[in-house]
Structures are given as C-alpha cells and as structure tokens.
Structure 1
Amino acid sequence: MPFVHVELVEGRSAEVKAALAKEITEVVMKHTGAPRETIYVIYDDMAKENFYPHGEPKQ
C-alpha cells in the first residue's frame, strides 16, 4: 500500500487538495502498478507561523 504524505502551508481549499490527491494517485498507479484502492494521500497542513524558509518567518 503506497502512502504519500504531503506537507503544505495551511490555506489550500478542499477542492485544490482533492485535485492534487487525484493526480498524485494517478502518478503512483502509473509508476508502481499499485491499484487505486491501495493508495493513500495524507495531507499535513502546517500553520504559517511554523514555517521558516531560509530561517525567516513565512509571510
């Protein structure tokens, strides 16, 4: 069972996440041969105040 963990800075809509999950699933199926029913996409939404690119707070 492939599990794909995606970390995003919070703020993306459910529609955006659903579209991305669908495409990720298609790519995993294509490259691994895993059946769709066994592929899981898991989102971790990160609070903006917890993200420091290049050591600076995310604006």
Structure 2
Amino acid sequence: MVVLKVTLLQGRSLEKKRELARLLTEMVARRLGEPKEEVRLILYEVPKENWAVGGVLMVDREER
C-alpha cells in the first residue's frame, strides 16, 4: 500500500482535485508497480489565511 499526502491551498474545484487524484494514482501505480486500488491519496487543504510565504500571508499577497 502507498499513501500520498498532498498539502495545497484551498480554492481548487472538485474537478481539479479529481483529476489530480487520478493522475497521481496512475503515476504512482505505474512507477512502483502497485495496483491502483493500493494507492491512497489524502488532500490537506489549507486556508490562504493560514499559509505564509516570505512572512506574508497568502491572503495578503492576493490583495497586492
């Protein structure tokens, strides 16, 4: 079994997350020789007010 954990900013559509799940699962299954059913994916979505780059919150970077 393989478990992938992906942390990303909130705001992506359900369709984009579905596509990400499909592509990552296919890639890992192919590269590691695991059945797709043995690949798990956990998406951690972080609000922009809880993510900073260079000391600036992402929510504030968008306002510039």
Runs of 4+ in 1 over 6 A off after TM superposition: none
TM-score, length-scaled by structure 1: 0.94
Whose relative contact order is higher, 1 or 2, with alpha carbons under 8 Å and at least 6 apart?
1
Segments of 5+ residues of structure 2 without an aligned counterpart are none
For each residue in 1:16-59, what CA deviation from the matched residue of structure 2 results, as whole angstroms up to 9, or x when unmatched? 00001100001101110010111011100001100001111103
TM-score, length-scaled by structure 2: 0.87
2 CA distance for matches of 1:17 and 1:7? Answer: 12
Identity of aligned residues (%): 36
Q: Give 1 or 2 for the bigger CA radius of gyration.
A: 2
Q: Which residue of 1 aligns with 2:27?
A: 27
